[in-house]
Amino acid sequence: MLRKIVLSLSLAFLVFGPVLAQEKAAKPRNIILIGWDGAQRAHVMECLERGELPNLKQLAQEGALVNIDIVTGATDTKAGWTQILTGYNPEVTGVYSNGRYRDVPKGLSIFERLKEHFGPDFVCVAVIGKREHCGEIREPFKRQITDEEAAKIQAQQQAAAKAKQAQAAKKQAAQQGAAQAKPAVPAQPGAGRQQIGRIVEENGVKYLVFEGSPYYTMHKACDVWEYGLMEDEKVGTRAIELLEKYKDRPFFFFVHFASVDHQGHRFGENSKEYNDALISNDTWTGKIIAKLKELGLYDKTLVYVTADHGFNEGATGHSYAPYVVLATNDPLVKRDGMRQDIAPTILARFGLDLSRFQPPLDGEPLTQPATKPVLKAPETPPARPKVQAQQPGQGKLRKQAAPVTQAP
């Protein structure tokens, strides 16, 4: 009897397996891009080896798990998600790092291109965990200021710069074992205090100029744009609610989980907390997939999971952390790539003609052979950090690339 059941299951797989694969290979009705902010490639791979990320593993078994290297722009959140959501390098978007950025020019984001291509019935949704650096909506402005206002703003900016230097020094001391006490946790770990605007002088008149947050224009193309949810449970629950709401319409969802990055800044990449956050991201990714299956949409939906940057090995920052992964149920993804290749992959799978885009995309679809060099981030290892006693869930110290000078 058992033999008959096994044979029946094998026959069913032979019959229906290729059908499911063909459905995934066809142009999808929907795509979900899931962000695991700050998920370091090596740590993710160790979690997979330990069986701690079953949903990511299943997704990759259905499609692919490929390496993504960051070779242009800073390894931080603003530069990362801007490049992922547009397919352009900083020279086009103006977003080089968390400290050097502007509103992305109109029409360059995935959201805007899909709305233009498919029309108003197509749904674009963004559900974002962070309050700063990903999702915040701040309008560009230019306003005249007095000399007294300019002096006050400059003093505030200088004080903020000193505070940032002091915080960096405190973190470094803690990593070297000189200070074991945990620092006070800010509203968003790693975000710091955001200085809005810069002072310029034109014909003897001073102005405070702010070129906007990267997401200001692109968010207007979305039916729902929510950010600052912070907790994975809030992000995942809201995404599932919106899947229910828009189940009868084709959609693109961007679902961003912030906990990995937050716990990395608080406790370090090699901490149990960072490891647990990866497991949390995987759990909620699984719940989103389960909802797609419940709604009968999974076979019509491609899911891509990736990160904006990794984390410095064993540290609480990501000054140079260019190694992440992309996991997907898309069977057409065949090669490793760069951060700018993710948007072209999504847009091409939706059937858009990338050759018509102006300016031309800097990235290329991961579903096609590359026509440009696929660059790898350099891997010169830094001095190894002091080894501390391992906690449950921690991995071994891994080789990590050397720090380089980042854009301001």
Taking only the tens place, the pLDDT of each residue in 80-123 is 999 999 999 999 999 999 989 999 999 999 999 999 999 999 99
pLDDT tens, 274-297?
Answer: 999 999 999 999 999 999 999 999
In a domain, 158, yes or no: yes
Residue 284 tokens read as: 């909620």
The residue-averaged pLDDT of 13-34 equals: 68
- What pLDDT, on a 0 to 100 scale, did the predictor assign at position 220? 97
Q: Report whether pLDDT(68) > 60.
A: yes
In a domain, 233, yes or no: yes
Query: What CATH code is carried by the domain that includes residue 57?
Result: 3.40.720.10
Q: Report whether pLDDT(405) > 60.
A: no
In a domain, 6, yes or no: no
Q: Report whether pLDDT(223) > 90.
A: yes
Which percentage of the chain shows pLDDT scores above 70? 77
Q: Report whether pLDDT(197) > 80.
A: no
* Rounded distance between C-alpha atoms, residue 267 and residue 71, angstroms: 27
- Asked if residue 232 and residue 205 are part of one domain, the reply reads no
Q: Which of 154, 177, 210 is the last residue of a domain?
A: 210
- What pLDDT, on a 0 to 100 scale, did the predictor assign at position 394? 42
The residue-averaged pLDDT of 4-16 equals: 38
In a domain, 11, yes or no: no
* Rounded distance between C-alpha atoms, residue 65 and residue 41, angstroms: 11
pTM, two decimals, is 0.80
- What pLDDT, on a 0 to 100 scale, did the predictor assign at position 140? 78
- Asked if residue 108 and residue 80 are part of one domain, the reply reads yes
In a domain, 183, yes or no: no
Which percentage of the chain shows pLDDT scores above 90? 67
3-state SS of the chain: helix, strand, coil percent to 5? 40, 15, 45
* Rounded distance between C-alpha atoms, residue 57 and residue 328, angstroms: 9
Angle at 348 between CA 16 and CA 320, to 5 degrees: 105
The residue-averaged pLDDT of 384-402 equals: 40
Amino acid identity, residue 161? A
Q: Which of 151, 179, 210 is the last residue of a domain?
A: 210
Print the domain residue range for 150: 141-165+193-210
Radius of gyration of the chain (CA): 22
Q: Which residues of 17-54 are buried (b: 16+ CB within 10 A; e: fewer)?
A: eeeeeeebeeebebbbbbbbbbbbbbbbbbbbeeebbe
- Asked if residue 159 and residue 136 are part of one domain, the reply reads no
Residue 1 tokens read as: 């009897």
- Asked if residue 298 and residue 279 are part of one domain, the reply reads yes
Q: Report whether pLDDT(13) > 50.
A: no
Residue 228 tokens read as: 């600052």
* Rounded distance between C-alpha atoms, residue 289 and residue 282, angstroms: 11
The count of structural domains within the chain is 2
Q: 344 versus 187: which is more confidently predicted? A: 344
Residue 195 tokens read as: 């200085």
Q: 226 versus 166: which is more confidently predicted? A: 226
- Asked if residue 407 and residue 286 are part of one domain, the reply reads yes
- Asked if residue 282 and residue 151 are part of one domain, the reply reads no
In a domain, 17, yes or no: no
Q: Which of 179, 210, 241 is the last residue of a domain?
A: 210
- Asked if residue 52 and residue 152 are part of one domain, the reply reads no
Strand order in the sheet with 251-257: 224-226, 123-128, 251-257, 30-36, 301-306, 323-328, 64-69, 337-338
- Asked if residue 327 and residue 232 are part of one domain, the reply reads yes
**DSSP-derived pairing of the beta strands 123-128 and 141-145:** unpaired
Q: Could you tell me the pLDDT band of residue 26, with boundaries at 50, 70 and 90? A: confident
- Asked if residue 248 and residue 386 are part of one domain, the reply reads yes
In a domain, 221, yes or no: yes
- What pLDDT, on a 0 to 100 scale, did the predictor assign at position 160? 66
In a domain, 275, yes or no: yes
Residue 77 tokens read as: 């959140």
- Asked if residue 303 and residue 218 are part of one domain, the reply reads yes
Residue 365 preceded by cis peptide, ω within 30: no
- Asked if residue 146 and residue 103 are part of one domain, the reply reads no
Which residues, in sequence order, are bridge partners of residue 337?
68
- Among 131-140, 168-177, 357-366, the range with the most confident prediction by mean pLDDT is 357-366
- Asked if residue 330 and residue 260 are part of one domain, the reply reads yes
